[in-house]
Amino acid sequence: MANRIFSLLLLLCAGNLIAQNTSVTNIEPRVEALLAKMTVEEKIGQLTQMPGDISTGTDVAKDDLLNQIRTGKLGSILSHTNFQNKITMQRVATKETRLGIPLVFGFDVIHGYKTIFPIPLAQAATWEPDLVERIERIAAEEASADGQNWTFSPMVDISRDPRWGRNMEGSGEDPYLGSLIGVARVRGFQGNDLAANNTVAACAKHYAGYGFVEAGREYNTVDMSEQRLRELILPPFEAVAKAGSATFMNAFNTLNGTPASMNKHLVTDILRGEWTWKGLVVSDWNSFGEVIVHGAAADEEDASAKCLGAGSDMDMAGGTFQKGMKKALDNGKVTQAQLDEAVRRVLRFKFMLGLFDDPFRYLDPKRREATLFKEEYRKTAREAAAKSMVLLKNDGGLLPLNPAGPFKKIAIIGPLVDSRTYKDYMSFWTLGLGTPYYDSTKVITPAMALKPALEALGFQVTVAGVNLTAASDEAAFKDAIQASKDADLIIACVGERGLDCGESRSVSDINLPRGQERLLKIATLNGNRPTVMVLFNSRPLTFQWANENIESILVAWQPGFETGNALTDILTGKVNPGGKLPVTFPYSLGQVPIYYNALNTGRPQEKQGQMWTSGYLDGPATPAYPFGFGLSYTTFAYEAPKVNKTKIKSGETLEVSVTVTNTGKIAGSETVQCYIRDLVADISRPLKELKGFEKITLAPGEKRTVKFKITENDLAYWNTEAKRKADPGKFKVFTGGNSRDVQEVEFSLEK
Ligand code: BGC
């Protein structure tokens, strides 16, 4: 378990996976034959991608798409929803151009295509890579049936900053969990055969460093040591590269001064060199053009030469290559060989997808009709949404709601009780729905599911929404306050709107937005009425008052189409919560960045207020909820971990075992986590690093021993010379149900 990634990498390295991941044969000679016939203009065309009927970025020129396709100026279309148009475009590309090269259609399939699942960060909170793979399988079924060949996913950016709006697209702060989830996504999308008509190519993004934009501000500067880059940012990218992700996408940001799109160190040295990855690198939206704005290239000619020269291949949306590549070639800034190599990668990709053999294999109207919005997909959406919810607090066992208990009258209140605007319960990245506002008939809101379910159990239920604005006052809260007065238990559905989540949605305050804390205070009579707070969120938020005054807090994230049903499953106890946080929830914004795998500092703080130690004068240095945290309606007791030996040598495996007992009255799932600490190394090492986890389900009273295997590879780290090595000496291994509440045992590595 602990070295799942390592064994996976060994397995995947056993051959040229990129070439194997398709049933199409004889690709290389076909690529060469075609390349030999192409003009320079046609080659540049193949490296150019333009947006279709929706835009996900700054304004770009995309005039007269059909004409551009007909004249060989485009090789790919992104973000196009209209199915009939896709057929027309593909017909023009294959029947009306000189060489008949098919188009490849790319799309952001981020948490489902038509059937919308919980946001990716929520999916990571399930700690179930297999479930994530099943989700992406469905997303691929739908997307491919609608004519998409390629998804711009997974986003495997590690982030420690909740201000950054794109947290929701990743798997949180840990590179180990992030790698496993990333690989699961690639497998789900691509299956075993890229050419199958129900798979889509994956795209690992954003390469690299984007999750570390300064101050969490979108598109901002990223500066970090090579050591941190390799230790924290690159592992998930390497894992998905080795798992055969067909493509990669450059990040928007600069990394240590050089824009990622023209960062030779990242693309050529590491990705193509060290990892021997053979796929296609696409820019982000106009990120080739933006190197000019970064001040790192003079004009389109310079930008084309620098981006292609770094090893990037396809120009998304900006038209920079259209404007500058020919000049760069004529002026000797780019060689014919460099251009050909990039074109080869595009052609190879299209062959692998099977597009040359049948350009219309993803454009079958009957399959489309039979596949989109299949009712059975909702089962997985409901399972995932319920499993992703994280119970942070449950004082007095208020949950699950018990009809035989003291509370009979329930008020379900708040702005997110029954909302039908702003893509609530979803995110900006639900582009497959084809409208800026979601189709409200598809989403089960909390009120729709929870009210009838609670009534059927014998509760009296009132629902009162709140129309929240930036300036909401008591008048806006009127109905909610009234409903609360008449109730003896409140369920408050609060948090972020769907459109608060995703790209270009950074925030400078992570408190419950838009006056909702005031709403909570008034409606709960200052915490004097039993309350369940259901938080809809795309990132860690701070809610100190609620933490201190509200009995039960459930993180529901943005759960997607099955929001109401999944929430009902959890609140009524049909499903016992088992989600665990994939990110630290800070106590206050000033603590950001705060994360579990931190270094010790020379002056670690033991207690708040202790002077001359690493802390704050005005608050704790510890988070509100640590990484890996999540409660259940039952309880689990952990015995101390045991090791099968106290010393291991290179090549040996340490076995760590821990026995966990369900000490409560109902069955429940627990994610047993295993961390290590290198006590003395050549550089300072994190206080804890996740090295394994296993999700188990135990009946009441049941006991299970979980085993983790640790090898030298798990103890290795990247040093300051960009070398990976393990230092002999003492280590600690910790086991527990989250990154804070653990028990430990020591062992040593001998060489
Ligand atoms: C985003 C990418 C996305 C692309 C295409 C960009 O703005 O950063 O993640 O794939 O748009 O929509």
Instruction: Read off the pLDDT of residues 441-471 as tens digits, 9 standing for 90 and up.
Output: 899 999 999 999 999 999 999 999 998 877 6
- The mean pLDDT value for 22-28 works out to 96
Half-sphere exposure of 516 (CA within 13 A, CB side): 28
Q: Is the pLDDT of residue 7 over 70?
A: no
- The tens digit of pLDDT for each residue in 69-89 reads 999 999 999 999 999 999 999
pLDDT at 469: 77
Q: Does 605 score more than 50 pLDDT?
A: yes
Which of 503, 504, 505 most suits a substitution to test ligand 1, by most atoms within 8 Å of the C-beta? 503
pLDDT of residue 590: 98
SS3 call for 673: strand
Q: In the predicted model, what is the mean pLDDT of the chain?
A: 95
Q: Per residue in 622-666, pLDDT tens?
A: 999 999 999 999 999 999 999 999 999 999 999 999 999 999 999
Which amino acid type is present at position 584? T
SS (H, E, C) 557-580: CCCCCCHHHHHHHHHCCCCCCCCC
The 3-state secondary structure of 86-116, one letter per residue: HHHHHHHHHHCCCCCCCCEEEECCCCCCCCC
For position 255, what pLDDT does the model report? 98
Cβ-in-10-Å burial (0-12, 13-18, 19+) of 672 comes to: buried
| Tens digits of residue pLDDT in 121-133 | 999 999 999 999 9
Residue 353 CA, ligand 1 centroid: distance in Å = 21
Ligand 1 atom closest to the Cα of residue 153 is 10
Query: Contact at 8 Å (CB) between 149 and 247?
Result: no
Indicate the Cα dihedral angle 105, 106, 112, 113, nearest 10°. Answer: -30
Q: Is the CB of 166 under 6 A from ligand 1?
A: no
- Distance, in Å, from the CA atom of 695 to the CA atom of 130, rounded to the nearest integer, reads 11
Average pLDDT of 150-168?
Answer: 98
- Summarised one tens digit per residue, pLDDT across range 283-295 is 999 999 999 999 9
What is the SS3 assignment for 226?
helix
How many Å apart are CA 497 and CA 649, to the nearest integer? 53
| Euclidean distance between CA atoms 42 and 35, whole angstroms | 10
Q: At residue 673, does pLDDT exceed 60?
A: yes
Report helix, strand or coil for 654.
Answer: strand
Best residue for ligand 1 mutational test, from 284, 287, 504, 505 (most atoms within 8 Å of Cβ): 284
Instruction: For residue 113, name the pLDDT band (cuts at 50, 70, 90).
Output: very high
Please tell me whether residue 199 adopts helix, strand or coil conformation: coil
The encoded tokens of residue 448 equal: 């729709």
CA-nearest residue, atom 10 of ligand 1: 152
pLDDT at 303 (0 to 100): 98
Question: Span 589-617, mean pLDDT?
Answer: 97
Share above pLDDT 90 across residues of the chain, in percent, rounded to a whole number: 91
Distance in angstroms (rounded) separating the CA atoms of residues 740 and 623: 10
Residue 536 confidence (pLDDT) above 70: yes
pLDDT at 8: 47
Residue pair 116/126 in contact by the 8 Å Cβ criterion: no
Query: Taken in order 323, 328, 329, 335, is the CA torsion positive or negative?
Result: negative
Kindly state the tokens that stand for 25.
């044969």
C-alpha 285 – ligand 1 centre gap (Å):
6
- Give residue 76 CA to ligand 1 midpoint distance, Å: 15
pLDDT recorded at residue 4: 52
- DSSP conformation letters of 584-601: -B-SSGGG-S--SS----
Tell me the mean pLDDT in the region 596-612.
97
**Residue with CA at minimum distance from ligand 1 atom 6:** 285
Catalytic positions, written as ranges: 284
Question: How do residues 300-319 score in pLDDT, each as one tens digit?
Answer: 999 999 999 999 999 999 99
Per-residue pLDDT, 54: 82
Question: pLDDT tier at 61 (50, 70, 90 boundaries)?
Answer: low
Two tokens, residue 17: 């996976």
Res. 63 pLDDT band, cuts 50 70 90: low
> 409 by DSSP, 3-state: which?
strand
Ligand 1 contact via 218 beta carbon (within 6 Å): no
Amino acid code (one letter) for 166: R
517: left (phi over 0), alpha (psi -120 to 50) or beta: alpha
Q: Is 185 in the pocket of ligand 1 (CB under 6 A)?
A: no
At residue 476 the predicted structure's pLDDT band, cuts being 50, 70 and 90, is confident
Average pLDDT over residues 265-289: 98
Write phi, then psi, for 725 (nearest 5 degrees). -160, 160
Rounded to whole angstroms, the Cα distance separating 528 from 488 reads 10
Specify the pTM.
0.96
| CB of 108 shorter than 6 A to ligand 1 | yes
* C-alpha 56 – ligand 1 centre gap (Å): 6
Q: How remote is the CA of residue 430 from the centroid of ligand 1, in Å?
A: 13
Mean pLDDT in residue range 660-689: 98
pLDDT in tens, 345-358: 999 999 999 999 99
Whether ligand 1 lies within 6 angstroms of the CB of 164 is answered as no
Which amino acid residue places its CA nearest to atom 8 of ligand 1? 284
Asked whether 107 lines ligand 1 (CB < 6 A), one says no
Q: Give yes or no for residue 14 having a pLDDT over 60.
A: no
Cβ(79) to ligand 1 under 6 A? yes
Strand partners, 724: 718
Q: What is the dihedral of CA 341, 342, 345, 351, to 10 degrees?
A: -100
Tell me how far apart the terminal alpha carbons of the chain are, to the nearest angstrom: 24
| Ligand 1 centre distance from Cα of residue 316 (Å) | 9
For each of the domains in the chain, give its residue range(s) and CATH number, in order of start: 2-11+46-52+60-369 (3.20.20.300), 379-586 (3.40.50.1700), 636-750 (2.60.40.10)
The answer to whether 559 touches 566, Cβ cutoff 8 Å, is yes
Tokens for 639, please give them: 């015995």
pLDDT, tens digit, 9 for 90 and up, residues 572-590: 999 999 999 999 999 999 9
Q: Is the CB of 503 under 6 A from ligand 1?
A: yes
Q: Please, what's the largest Cα pairwise distance for the chain?
A: 81
Residue pLDDT, tens place only, 200-247: 999 999 999 999 999 999 999 999 999 999 999 999 999 999 999 999
The per-residue pLDDT for 751 is 87
| Two tokens, residue 653 | 């495996």
8 Å CB contact between 111 and 54 = no
